């Protein structure tokens, strides 16, 4: 096994679950998420060695995100890039996105009420742990825009928590 | 009603960025900068940040489950992908991947090591000089991101160096540790707080690194979002230690301070320098560096304390005088020492899993067990989630039984320090030896926060128990200066009439617990206060070096209700004063000042201390004559002590005083090391520091 194959196998092992989870959060059904992920990995392998090494995860997320939008368009859902989450979700998965079906905490519901773009960023930050830079790379937003939107989300959620009396 | 306007704009995205660790140090500093007059408004900002980080922690918590146990691609799809890529392509030398472990995520790029052939060979050559630094940035609550950096020293080959240097691309706080002449291999790994797992991952990936217990493994902790409020306060405390100014003897002839036998700052400094970083100035406590070394007589018994003074000239300023006041506590022969009633209180929380924590605690405790006599009693209590008694009080000759328990300590769970401490003190009190040495020995990485509602409650508990006869020894493992855990432990040990030591290696464990076990365990004198009165007819001005947080009001000297430092068997306390004599003064001579000191008497040194069980202090006085020995003929002890003090001042980044530069301090130390191994180690530490500070080489 070549070093690059070893590297690739490791990328695959390390990222497949989070990538699938991200695609599910974007609203894709499980089988479609698997297909998109597969495309993304093959796309990664086509890249010039060394060209994306420094940002593999944002690259994969960015690639997969575009493919997800393409799919939504192919299904004749009118989507703008901005509302990809909501649009995909509106398809036939009312229980989409971040929350889990049976055990939505109040906070999880509050997160689900955020604008789609903010929801996606909250997921990339708190689930995938991406840095602002990586989030910008994955979503095509500027870093400062990422920071702004995330701050807005945090302020909303903070307001929610203090309303609930959950902040000291 | 006029509410204080906030100092910040609440829509400023930097607030969230700061909480999420996205700001550089400079950006953070700019955001937090404020005038003293803005304290109230700064408090608003702090509250805002506290709320935001609490929110971040809650969101993290709410979403955490989503990160784990999601579906994967399935074997079939994965096989397809791997098959598709099986066609050979040209090799790449370096790759970066993201790694995900234990359901938690990694956001740091990680460099895979592919150019092994080159690196492997070099690494073998320099294996002995290899050190590893784990740069830990504590992310959001429950999400720990660990940057691991291996630093290979001593690679001389320029070409290979160039080939390897681009590896170091982590733009994090840890970069400060990196110097251009070092090679590094950065690995970022998320381990969900599992340091041992990070360690294992590194070892699996880089078996050729042969990292064994011989190398230094240090864990640095970065800002934690969930603990931001504390850090923000610390940030304000982080000011460099102030350089003590000269005081006029005419108006302030008396200087009073408490003894300090702690030496933890030395280990902290060493730790930092071994990782190629100058320590934060605030972490350098001059007196602790000086008192780390052994001065005076090798051994003596009899009276509890011996005092020695020595007066010499400054090596740099001929008119300036240096006064050394040394107080040494008597040694105790093994067979003469009183019985001990020891309770080991061991932190076994998850964070203790790192190789330089619990495993080192166990090694340290084994050293201590070696010293035990049949009349001694030992118990072991752990705290992690729940406090538990692992070993009921057991006689010191049943070593195997004790060792079994020590060997089976295992880290896991969260930290609730106070419950464990209460239990440990209860055991110690139940077995109290009225004439003996009753002590709780706390071994921790410093994180006593979770579950302790108020650090002051903890301190009061420790203080109360000390009054009832059970003292506290605090041993810090993997302590981080960034978190200032060392200060908290030092203060806690102070309140418990005990000592604090930072154990960063087995050698240090042997030093503190083996050869110095007596000092750490047997208090010879309690509440030792030192006072020096200067003769204003001879001394124009003076300053005490170090003891910044040990100064006492003159009136407290004779006040027995006022606590001070305790000294144990074999301990030495050295204080150094710099003196400007009248005539060569910075300040005009005060011929009119009155003094009780005799003509020709430069100063009078007074000590007050109590017997370990005593309540009233005894006074010892000693006169210092004005005649100074030239520095060249002063004792090696004094010359070395002064060299160490100058080293500490350089590390504190004080503007070099006249003549005091790295180049000029080195020969002072070098000439006084003699054959003492610890002094030689200090000299090489000095050379490391000088190199890191960028000072030119001296030949």
Per-residue pLDDT of B118-130, as tens digits, reads: 233 333 222 222 2
Could you say which of B58, B104, B109 has the minimum Cβ distance to residue A107? Answer: B58
CA distance B170 to B186: 7
The reported pLDDT for the residue numbered B625 is 93
- CB-CB neighbors (< 8 A) of A45 in chain B: 84-85
CATH 2.40.50.250 for the B247-332+524-692 domain, yes or no = no
Q: Mean pLDDT lowest for which of B51-65, B79-93, B220-234, B652-666?
A: B220-234
Task: Yes or no: say if B689 and B653 are a contact pair by the CB < 8 Å rule.
Answer: no
Q: In this structure, is residue A61 part of a structural domain?
A: yes
* Closest alpha carbon to B605 in B626, B623, B630: B623
Establish if A154 touches chain B: CB-CB under 8 angstroms.
Answer: yes
* Closest alpha carbon to B172 in B216, B217, B221: B221
Q: In this structure, is residue A128 part of a structural domain?
A: yes
The residue count of chain B comes to 699
B63 confidence band (pLDDT: 50, 70, 90): confident
Q: Do A14 and B109 touch (CB under 8 A)?
A: no
CATH ID of B335-521, from 3.90.1150.10, 1.10.10.10, 3.40.50.410, 3.30.360.10? 3.40.50.410
pLDDT tens, position by position, B159-212: 222 222 222 222 222 222 222 122 222 232 223 223 333 344 444 444 333 333
pLDDT exceeds cutoff 80 at B565: yes
The reported pLDDT for the residue numbered B638 is 96
CA distances from A135 to A125, B169, B483 (A): 8, 19, 29
Task: Yes or no: say if A135 and A120 are a contact pair by the CB < 8 Å rule.
Answer: no
Q: Which residue has the higher pLDDT, B620 or B27?
A: B620
Q: Which are the contacts of A128, defined by CB distance < 8 A and separation ≥ 6?
A: A18, A22, A57, A61, B67, B105, B107
Could you say which of A127, A132, A134 has the minimum Cβ distance to residue B67? Answer: A127
CA distance A119 to B639: 65
Task: Yes or no: say if B440 and B421 are a contact pair by the CB < 8 Å rule.
Answer: yes
Helix axes B677-692, B264-274, angle to 10 degrees: 50
Q: Which residue has the higher pLDDT, B170 or B247?
A: B247
The reported pLDDT for the residue numbered B604 is 95
Establish if B63 touches chain A: CB-CB under 8 angstroms.
Answer: yes
pLDDT exceeds cutoff 50 at A127: yes
Q: In this structure, is residue A168 part of a structural domain?
A: no
Q: Which of B11, B93, B97 has the most A C-beta neighbours within 10 Å, making it the best mutation to test the interface with A?
A: B97
Task: Yes or no: say if B22 and A150 are a contact pair by the CB < 8 Å rule.
Answer: no
Highest mean pLDDT among B71-75, B106-110, B217-221: B71-75
The reported pLDDT for the residue numbered B457 is 80
What residue ranges do the domains of chain B occupy?
A: 14-66, 89-225, 247-332+524-692, 335-521
Residue A90 to chain B, least CA–CA distance (Å): 21
Highest mean pLDDT among A46-60, A114-128, B58-72, B413-427: A114-128
* Closest alpha carbon to B522 in B336, B392, B382: B336
Helix axes A143-163, A116-126, angle to 10 degrees: 90
The reported pLDDT for the residue numbered B319 is 85
Could you say which of A34, A111, A154 has the minimum Cβ distance to residue B73? Answer: A34
* Closest alpha carbon to A61 in A45, A89, A32, A39: A39
Determine the distance from the C-alpha atom of residue B637 to the mean position of all C-alpha atoms in its chain, rounded to a whole number.
24
Residue A129 to chain B, least CA–CA distance (Å): 5
Same fold, B247-332+524-692 and B335-521: no
Q: Which residue has the higher pLDDT, B368 or B385?
A: B368
pLDDT tens, position by position, B20-37: 878 877 787 787 777 766
CA distance A125 to A18: 12
Q: Please report, rounded to a whole number, the percentage of residues in chain B having pLDDT higher than 70.
A: 64
Residue B2 to chain A, least CA–CA distance (Å): 23
Q: Do A126 and B59 touch (CB under 8 A)?
A: yes
B312 confidence band (pLDDT: 50, 70, 90): very high
Q: Mean pLDDT lowest for which of A112-116, B92-96, B595-599?
A: B92-96
Indicate if the alpha-carbon torsion angle B116, B118, B124, B126 is positive or negative.
negative
Establish if B166 touches chain A: CB-CB under 8 angstroms.
Answer: no
pLDDT exceeds cutoff 90 at B289: yes
Task: Yes or no: say if B577 and B539 are a contact pair by the CB < 8 Å rule.
Answer: no
Q: Please report, rounded to a whole number, the percentage of residues in chain B having pLDDT higher than 90.
A: 17
- Mean pLDDT over all residues of chain B? 69
Count the neighbouring beta carbons within 10 Å of the beta carbon of residue B217: 22
Domain that holds residue A53: 3-163
Could you say which of B22, B74, B96 has the minimum Cβ distance to residue A132? Answer: B22
pLDDT tens, position by position, A62-113: 888 888 887 777 665 444 454 554 545 444 444 444 444 434 578 888 888 8
The secondary structure of residue B185, as a DSSP letter, is E
A3 confidence band (pLDDT: 50, 70, 90): low
* CATH at residue A104: 1.20.140.160
Q: Are strands B340-347 and B377-384 parallel, antiparallel or unpaired?
A: parallel
The reported pLDDT for the residue numbered B304 is 84
- CB-CB neighbors (< 8 A) of B78 in chain A: 12, 16
Indicate if the alpha-carbon torsion angle B270, B271, B275, B278 is positive or negative.
negative
- CB-CB neighbors (< 8 A) of B72 in chain A: 16-17, 20
ipTM score: 0.82
Residue A127 to chain B, least CA–CA distance (Å): 6
- For the record, the structure tokens of B209 come out as 């690194």
The reported pLDDT for the residue numbered A146 is 92
Indicate if the alpha-carbon torsion angle B227, B229, B230, B232 is positive or negative.
positive
Q: Mean pLDDT lowest for which of A10-24, B69-83, B508-522?
A: B508-522
Tell me how many domains chain A contains: 1
Establish if B91 touches chain A: CB-CB under 8 angstroms.
Answer: yes
């Amino acid at each position: 096994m070549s070093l690059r194959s070893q590297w690739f196998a490791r990328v695959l092992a390390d990222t497949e679950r989070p990538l699938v989870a991200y695609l599910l959060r974007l609203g894709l059904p499980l089988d479609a998420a698997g297909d998109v992920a597969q495309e993304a990995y093959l796309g990664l392998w086509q890249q010039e060695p060394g060209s994306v090494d420094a940002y593999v995860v944002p690259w994969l997320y960015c690639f997969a995100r575009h493919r997800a939008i393409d799919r939504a368009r192919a299904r004749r859902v009118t989507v703008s890039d901005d509302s990809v989450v909501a649009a995909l979700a509106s398809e036939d998965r009312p229980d989409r996105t971040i929350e889990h079906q049976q055990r939505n905490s109040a906070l999880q519901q509050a997160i689900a009420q955020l604008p789609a773009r903010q929801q996606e960023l909250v997921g990339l930050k708190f689930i995938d742990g991406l840095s602002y830079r990586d989030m910008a790379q994955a979503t095509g937003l500027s870093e400062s825009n990422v920071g702004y939107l995330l701050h807005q989300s945090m302020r909303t959620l903070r307001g929610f928590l203090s309303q609930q009396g959950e902040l000291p | 009603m006029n509410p204080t306007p906030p100092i910040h704009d609440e829509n400023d995205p930097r607030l969230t960025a700061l909480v999420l660790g996205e700001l550089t140090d400079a950006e953070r500093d700019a955001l937090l900068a404020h005038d003293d007059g803005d304290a109230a408004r700064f408090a608003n900002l702090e509250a805002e940040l506290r709320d935001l980080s609490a929110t971040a922690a809650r969101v993290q918590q709410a979403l955490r489950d989503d990160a784990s146990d999601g579906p994967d691609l399935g074997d079939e799809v994965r096989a397809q992908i791997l098959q598709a890529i099986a066609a050979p392509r040209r090799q790449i030398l370096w790759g970066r991947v993201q790694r995900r472990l234990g359901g938690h995520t990694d956001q740091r790029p990680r460099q895979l090591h592919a150019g092994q052939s080159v690196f492997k060979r070099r690494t073998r050559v320099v294996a002995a000089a290899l050190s590893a630094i784990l740069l830990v940035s504590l992310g959001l609550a429950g999400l720990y991101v660990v940057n691991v950096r291996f630093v290979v020293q001593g690679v001389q080959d320029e070409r290979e160096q160039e080939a390897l240097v681009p590896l170091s691309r982590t733009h994090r706080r840890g970069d400060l540790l990196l110097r251009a002449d070092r090679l590094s291999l950065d690995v970022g790994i998320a381990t969900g707080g599992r340091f041992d797992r990070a360690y294992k991952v590194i070892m699996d990936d880089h078996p050729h690194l042969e990292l064994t217990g011989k190398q230094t493994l240090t864990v640095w902790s970065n800002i934690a979002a969930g603990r931001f409020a504390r850090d923000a306060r610390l940030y304000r405390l982080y000011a460099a230690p102030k350089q003590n100014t000269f005081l006029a003897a005419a108006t302030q002839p008396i200087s009073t301070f408490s003894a300090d036998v702690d030496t933890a700052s030395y280990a902290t400094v060493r730790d930092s320098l071994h990782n190629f970083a100058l320590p934060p100035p605030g972490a350098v406590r001059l007196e602790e560096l000086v008192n780390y070394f052994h001065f005076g007589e090798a051994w003596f018994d009899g009276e509890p304390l011996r005092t020695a003074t020595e007066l010499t000239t400054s090596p740099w300023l001929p008119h300036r005088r240096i006064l050394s006041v040394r107080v040494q506590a008597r040694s105790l022969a093994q067979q003469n020492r009183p019985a001990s009633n020891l309770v080991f209180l061991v932190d076994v929380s998850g964070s203790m899993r790192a190789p330089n924590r619990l495993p080192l605690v166990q090694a340290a405790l084994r050293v201590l067990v070696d010293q035990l006599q049949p009349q001694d009693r030992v118990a072991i209590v752990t705290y992690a989630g729940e406090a538990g008694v692992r070993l009921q009080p057991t006689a010191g000759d049943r070593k195997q039984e004790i060792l079994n328990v020590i060997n089976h300590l295992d880290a896991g769970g969260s930290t609730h320090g106070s419950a464990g401490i209460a239990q440990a003190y209860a055991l110690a009190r139940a077995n109290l030896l009225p004439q003996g040495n009753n002590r709780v020995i706390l071994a921790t990485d410093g994180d006593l926060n979770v579950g302790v509602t108020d650090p002051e409650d903890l301190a009061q508990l420790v203080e109360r128990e000390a009054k009832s006869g059970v003292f506290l020894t605090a041993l810090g493992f993997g302590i981080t200066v960034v978190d200032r855990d060392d200060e908290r432990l030092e203060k806690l040990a102070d309140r418990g009439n005990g000592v604090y030591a930072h154990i960063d290696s087995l050698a240090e464990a042997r030093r503190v617990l083996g050869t110095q076990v007596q000092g750490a365990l047997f208090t010879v004198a309690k509440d030792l206060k030192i006072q020096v009165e200067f003769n204003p007819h001879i001394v124009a001005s003076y300053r005490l070096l170090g003891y910044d947080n040990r100064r006492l009001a003159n009136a407290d000297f004779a006040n027995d209700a006022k606590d001070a430092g305790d000294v144990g068997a074999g301990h030495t306390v050295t204080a150094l004063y710099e003196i400007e004599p009248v005539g060569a003064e910075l300040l005009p001579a005060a011929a009119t000042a009155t003094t009780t000191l005799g003509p020709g008497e430069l100063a009078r040194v007074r000590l007050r201390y109590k017997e370990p069980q005593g309540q009233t202090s005894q006074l010892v006085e000693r006169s210092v004559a004005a005649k100074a020995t030239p520095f060249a003929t002063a004792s090696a002890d004094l010359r070395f002590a002064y060299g160490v003090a100058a080293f500490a001042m350089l590390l504190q980044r004080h503007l070099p005083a006249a003549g005091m530069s790295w180049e000029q301090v080195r020969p002072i130390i070098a000439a006084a090391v003699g054959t003492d191994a610890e002094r030689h180690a200090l000299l090489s530490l000095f050379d490391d520091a000088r190199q890191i500070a960028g000072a030119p080489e001296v030949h």
